[in-house]
Amino acid sequence: MLSLSDSLRISSPLSDSRLSFLSQTGSRTSCQFKFVRSRRARVSRCRCSATEGPTPKRRKQIPEKYKQSEEEKGIDPVGFLSKYGITHKAFAQFLRERYKSLKDLKDEILTRHFSLKEMSTGYELMGMHRNVQHRVDFLEWAPGARYCALIGDFNGWSTTRNCAREGHFGHDDYGYWFIILEDKLREGEEPDKLYFQQYNYADDYDKGDTGITIEEIFKKANDEYWEPGEDRFIKSRYEVAAKLYEEMFGPNGSQTEEELEAMPDAATRYKTWKEQQKIDPASNLPSYDVVDSGKEYDIYNIIGDPESFKKFRMKQPPIAYWLETKKGRKGWLQKYMPALPHGSKYRVYFNTPNGPLERVPAWANFVIPDADGMQALAVHWEPPPEYAYKWKYKLPVKPKSLRIYECHVGISGQEPKISSFSDFISKVLPHVKEAGYNAIQIIGVVEHKDYFTVGYRVTNFYAVSSRYGTPDDFKRLVDEAHGLGLLVFLEIVHSYAAADEMVGLSLFDGTNDCYFHTGKRGHHKFWGTRMFKYGDLDVLHFLLSNLNWWVEEYHVDGFHFHSLSSMLYTHSGFASFTGDMDEYCNQYVDKEALLYLILANEVLHALHPNVITIAEDATLYPGLCDPTSQGGLGFDYFTNLSASEMWLALLENTPDHEWCMSKIVSTLVGDRQNTDKMLLYAENHNQSISGGRSFAEILIGNSLGKSSISQESLLRGCSLHKMIRLITSTIGGHAYLNFMGNEFGHPKRVEFPMSSNNFSFSLANRRWDLLEDDVHYRLFSFDKDMMDLDKNGRILSRGLANIHHVNDTTMVISYLRGPNLFVFNFHPVNSYERYIIGVEEAGEYQVTLNTDEKKYGGRALLGHDQNIQRTISRRADGMRFCLEVPLPSRSAQVYKLTRILRA
C-alpha cells in the first residue's frame, strides 16, 4: 500500500499534471491518486484516497473567477442596452438567448476540461514537448485520420518508425493522436532501473548527479522516515509505485483498455492484500484497517488508533531524498542523445479514407519552407538552455492612453529585401521611442505562406514567420521593446485562415469538418480563405490556447482582432448596413463567433488582467467594448474605421472649400456612446499596403523636396497633413494609431513582391533616408511634438472632448479637453485676426502647439506676442468667457490654461 504524505509527483506519458498526488484537505494524511479521463488520452479513472471525508466533485474545484451562475451578482445579459437607452425587444431577446447559450457552452467545456484556464492552455500538451522521462511527446488532433506517424530527418522520413494507431492508447475517442519519441541511450549506457526516473533537461539541476546510487538514497529515506517493524510494502514504497506504473504504462504493459482489465474495488483489493500478509507477525502489520463506506466519492477510509494516527502525522516527508533521485542536464547529456534534436525538420503523416497525407503540425511553433518553396516543414525549436533566450526586462506599466505605432517587420528596412527581427530591433525600435509612441502593433508576424498577403492568410497560428528570424529573435524584439517602455500588440487573425492544404489547416486530416465549416459557409467567397467552426470545442480549444500562447510564450501585451465583420456574419460583412438593430440579431449573425469572442475576452482578462484587446469591426456591433457581464463582448477598444475613409474621400474627391466641419466632427466622435473606448487613426496600413496611396502621396506627391512641387501646393499638403493628424488624435478616445513612416509623410505606397511586379522589392520598404530631407523632417518634428503633447499633458487620458464650436461657414472647429483648448481653421483662404471662441475658465491661455510654426514647415504668422491670450468676460458658444484668437488659414493651435483669473 502507498501511504505517503508528501506531494509526490509521478509523470505519465500522457500528462505530467494528470497523474499526481493532490492534497484535498490540507492534512498530511490526505492524498489522492488520480488517473483523469480527458479528451487527450484514454486512461481509466481510479482513485486511492486516505482522506477523512468524501472527496469533492471535480466541478466544485473550478476557480471562482471561472464560475458563472444565475445568482452571480452583476450579471445582466442586456445591461448595456439600458445604459444607452436602447429599446429594441428583438435584440434584447437575442442577447438573453446568447447568454443562455454561453452558459450552456461553458457547461459543455467543463465536462471535458477542468476549467476555462485549462481550456486555454492546450499548448502545454499539444504539439511537441520534452518530457522529464528522457523522451519527447507529440500530441495532435486529427479526428478524420486512421493512422498517424511522425516523419522527419530524425527517422529518415519513415512512416512506420514513430506512430500511433487507432484503438490503442495512442488514439482516443476525440481524435487526439499521441506519439512518444524515446531519447537514445549512448553507447555503453544502460536503462534506468526505475521507469519513472526523471531528468531535468532544461536546467542545470544536478542534485542527482552526485554519484550516490538510487539504492543508497532509498535506504537513507527509509531509515529516516520509517520505524523498524513496518512491513516491506511500506518501507520499500517506491517499489510498488514503480511496478504499478510500469505495469500500466511500461513497454510490456497493456496496450488497450480491454487488455488492462477492470480494477477490483477497494474492499476486494484490501482483502486480497491482507490475505497475502496473514503469515506476517501481527507486530509487523500496520495498526490500521480499511472500511468501504459505499459513497461514490469516498471509495474507502483508513481507520486507525489515535496514537498511531498522531504519530504518523508528526512525520516529515523525505522530500530532500526524493529530489536526490532527479538528475539534471549534465546527467542527461552523459547518458542520452535526444530523440528529436534541436533544429530537426519534421511533418505529421496521416492515413485517411482518401489516402495518405503529410501535414505541418497544427501546433508547430516554428515553420520554414523547403528548397522549392512549395512544401513547408516544421522545425523542432528546443535550443540548449545556455543558448535559449532569457528575458531581461519587466513588462511596462499599462498606460492610461495609447499612442500606437503600427508596423510590419518585413518592410521596415530601407533596403529592397525582407528585413529581420534583428534589423527592426536596431533601427525601428529606437525611432519609435524617439517619436514618442508608447506601443507598437505588429502585423504579419504570424506564419503565412505567401509574403504578398501581408500576413492575413495565416497558415501556422503558433509560429512566428521564419522570414524574419527565429522564435528567440522575436522574443528579443518584444523584450527590447519592453526595455524601452513600449507595449507590444499583435494583430491576430482568427476571423479566417489560409486555404492552402499543404501548409495550413484546410483539410488538415483529409476531411472538411476538422477546423472549418463545410460547404459554402466554410469558404470566404471574396478572399478565398477558410472560415473557422467556432462552435466546435476542439476548435475553441485551439483558438483560445493560441491567444494565451502569444501572451505566455512571447509576453505580448495585447491583440488587435482583425476583421471581426467577416466572422460575425455568415455573409462575412459584405452586405449593406443601414444601422437598424435587426441587422445585429437576424439569421445572418453567427452566434457561435460571438460566443468565441466573449470567451476570448473573459479568459484573456482573467488570466492576464493587464492585457489589452482591440476590436476591428466595420459594422460596429453593439456592445463591442461593454463588459461581458452586461451583454457586451468585453473588448478594451474598438477602431473607428470610418474616420480614415472619410479623410481619404475628402482628400481625393472633395475640394478644400467644400469640406463640411459637422461631418468631420460627427465621423470622428461617432455616436459618443463609446467614444472613450475608440481607437482613431488618420491612416493605418490600409492606405499604404492595400493598393491605395498614403495621404502624403496624395498631398505632396513623391517629391523629396520643394524643387519639383510648387510652394503653394507644398504648403497646403503639409498643413493638411498636420491638421488631420492633430484633430484625429485628440478629439476621440484614449487611443491613437499611426502606420510606420506616415509620421514623416512617407510619399510612396507599399507594394509587396508578386508576379505582377516581377517580384520586385523596390516598394516593399520604408524610406528612412527621407528624414534627412527638410520637408519630411519638419513633418516628423510636428508628429513628435504632438506625441509629447499627450505624453506631458495627458491629453488622451482625460475625459471626452467638449466640442463646443463647429462652424461650417467659417470652417472652424474648437473643443476643450481638460485645460487644453484646440482650435482648427480648415478654410483654405480665410484667416481670422480675432476669432471668438468660448471657454469655461477665465484666465490666460498659452499656445503649446501651433501647426503654422516655421519649424513644422508653416508660415509663422503668429507672433510671439500672440502666444498668450487672456479671456474676455463675455458669453460665447454657451460658455461664460471667450477668447479672441488669431487663426491663420489651414492652421491649428493648442492653448493651455496656464493661469486662472478670479472674477
pLDDT in tens, 774-789: 999 999 999 999 999 9
199 pLDDT band, cuts 50/70/90, is confident
- Between CA 49 and CA 31 the distance in angstroms is 6
Which grid coordinates are listed for 526?
A: 471574396
Beta bridge partners of 151: 347
Residue range 489-505: average pLDDT?
Answer: 91
The Cα–Cα gap between 152 and 817 comes to: 61
pLDDT on residue 227: 61
- What confidence score (pLDDT) does residue 537 get? 95
**Beta pairing class for 487-492 and 439-443:** parallel
Cell representation of residue 360: 505541418
**Nearest of 617, 615, 634 to residue 626 by alpha carbon:** 634
Please give the Cα distance from 700 to 853 (Å, whole number).
19
Tell me the average pLDDT across 139-160: 93
How does pLDDT run across 369-398, given as a tens digit for each residue?
765 656 789 999 999 888 889 999 999 999
Please tell me the predicted confidence (pLDDT) of residue 297.
54
Look at residue 217 in the predicted model and tell me its pLDDT: 75
- Burial class from Cβ neighbours inside 10 Å (0-12, 13-18, 19+) for residue 792 reads exposed
- C-alpha cell of residue 302: 483508513
Q: Give the CA diameter of the chain.
A: 113
Long-range contacts of 45-52 (CB under 8 A, 24+ apart): 46/263, 47/299, 48/2, 48/266, 48/299, 49/298, 49/299, 49/300, 49/301, 50/3, 50/301, 50/302, 51/24, 51/25, 51/298, 51/301, 52/25, 52/27, 52/301
Residue in the structure block whose three cell numbers are 553507447? 187
The residues that are catalytic are 616
Amino acid at 759: F
Residues 414, 771: Cα–Cα separation, whole Å: 12
Higher pLDDT, 721 or 242: 721
Q: What is the pLDDT of residue 901?
A: 80
CA Rg, the chain, in Å?
A: 33
Does residue 664 register a pLDDT over 50? yes
What pLDDT is stored for residue 282 in this prediction? 52
Give the distance from CA 573 to its chain's centroid. 24
What is the pLDDT of the chain when averaged over all its residues?
Answer: 83
Q: What distance in Å separates the CA atoms of residue 515 and residue 518, rounded to the nearest whole number?
A: 10
What pLDDT is recorded for position 328? 78
> Which stretch of 255-259, 680-684, 886-890 has the lowest confidence by average pLDDT?
255-259
The neighbour count for residue 633, using CB atoms within 10 Å, is 27
Cell of 241: 509505485
Place of cell 484668437: 885
| Listed residue (881, 882, 888) closest to 866, CA to CA | 888
- Helices then strands, counting H and E runs in the chain, come out as 23, 35
- The identity of residue 62, as a single letter, is I
What is the bridge-based pairing of β-strands 832-839 and 881-887?
Answer: antiparallel
310 phi, psi to nearest 5 deg: -65, -40
pLDDT tier, 335 (very low <50, low <70, confident <90, very high otherwise): confident
Say which range, 26-40, 162-176, 577-591, 828-842, has the weakest mean pLDDT: 26-40
**pLDDT value, residue 750:** 87
CA distance 724 to 680: 11
Answer yes or no: is pLDDT of 170 > 90: no
Q: Which of 153, 258, 40 is nearest to 162 (CA)?
A: 153
| Under 8 Å between Cβ of 130 and 202 | yes
Domains of the chain, each with CATH number or no CATH:
116-223+235-259+306-387 (2.60.40.10), 403-639 (3.20.20.80), 641-900 (2.60.40.1180)
For the chain, percent of residues with pLDDT exceeding 90: 56
User: Which residue is associated with the grid cell 474605421?
Assistant: 641
Q: Count of CB atoms within 10 A of residue 165's CB?
A: 15
Nearest to 398 by CA among 549, 676, 611: 611
For residues 585, 589, 593, 597, the Cα torsion angle rounded to the nearest 10 degrees is: -40
Asked which of 366-370, 434-438, 573-577, 617-621 is least confident by mean pLDDT, the reply is: 573-577
Place of cell 504648403: 715
Which pLDDT band, with edges at 50, 70 and 90, does 211 fall under? low
User: Order of strands across the sheet with 176-182?
Assistant: 127-131, 135-141, 176-182
Tell the residue number behind the cell numbers 530591433, with chain if given.
425
pLDDT of residue 671: 75
pTM for the whole structure = 0.82
Average pLDDT over residues 266-279: 69
Pairwise CA distance, residues 218 & 213, whole Å: 9
Query: Which of 62, 7, 59, 143 has the alpha carbon at shortest distance from 511?
Result: 143
Q: Which range has highest mean pLDDT (50-64, 70-84, 260-274, 291-305)?
A: 70-84
